[in-house]
Amino acid sequence: GQPQTRKSRSPVDTYGCVNWQPIILPEGETEETLEAKRVYMTELYSREGLNGADKSLIDDLMKVTYYTQRCTINAEPAQPISEIIRQWPFLSLYKYMDEHFNELTNIDLHSHLNDTLVRKSPRILKYFHSLQNSKQAIQELINEITVASEDIKTTENVTFTGVILLLMAHFHEKTDSIFILVDVMASKEDIESSVELPETPRLIVQGDSILCGAKWMLSIEGKVICQLTSTHANFVSGLAALFASYYIFHFQYEEGAAMTL
């Protein structure tokens, strides 16, 4: 996989990010103090795992070390994502991935995606419903969305997922260029050992179908990088994590899903 990784990832700002590589250190910090903070976080992670992130101190440390995080990510030659996560373990939490993207682009991705889907989903669904001679795949998908939406607890996840799947079908894009479906009970280790995970980012959906996902994970370079938990265990957070990973880690949009993305 390494040659393919280099081809799909290069430390060049291809998306016009506003804060791609800060050149000024945070006030009162040196390279040494920032490195000490990074080491402290890796030690905390090795002792307490991701639960260590419940400490508000991590919020401050992740914010102040953004400069160094970008240095690690932008290093040449590009390091494997697993190595970046080893050095910055809390970047594998959706919360900090989201904050990193916000700092990188000055865009509140989660709110933006959620608002867009809330605003546009009814119109998109109405449009596809109105097509008289649509492809069989689209008709079947509309029927699945209608049935699955009857469960009020998951309506929003189903609607938003359904809209993305309809757009992919409309643009003749393969669902596996964004999604990978796995068993709802599969652990991170199960998935990494039994599923062929591609080099480029994928949203792993745990459930009976992509439309009726119960849990979501992000995979990159054959590894599960981020597991969506607690308040972030929903489709919008999963899609935001996928989208953010292209920008944060310098991936080109997946060719098979470029129109939808």
The ranges assigned to domains in the chain are: 2-105
pLDDT recorded at residue 5: 39
Give Cα 84 distance to the centre of its chain. Answer: 16
User: Among 47-51, 149-153, 209-213, which is the least confidently predicted range?
Assistant: 149-153
In the predicted model, is pLDDT for residue 260 greater than 60?
A: yes
Which residue has tokens 């689209």? 138
Tens digit of pLDDT for each residue in 120-137?
Answer: 999 999 999 998 777 888
In the predicted model, is pLDDT for residue 257 greater than 80?
A: no
In the predicted model, is pLDDT for residue 12 greater than 60?
A: no
Rg (CA), the chain: 19
In the predicted model, is pLDDT for residue 9 greater than 70?
A: no
Higher-pLDDT residue of 235, 6: 235
Q: Quick check: pTM over 0.85?
A: yes
Tens digit of pLDDT for each residue in 178-216?
Answer: 999 999 999 999 999 999 999 999 999 999 999 999 999
Q: How far apart (Å, rounded) are the C-alpha atoms in residues 85 and 72?
A: 10
Q: How far apart (Å, rounded) are the C-alpha atoms in residues 208 and 212?
A: 6
CA-nearest of 261, 260, 226 to 246 is 261
In the predicted model, is pLDDT for residue 74 greater than 80?
A: yes
Which residue has tokens 């050095």? 87
pLDDT recorded at residue 152: 65
Q: What is the mean pLDDT of residues 93-113?
A: 96
Contact assessment for residue 163 and residue 171, using Cβ atoms and an 8 Å cutoff: no
pLDDT recorded at residue 250: 87
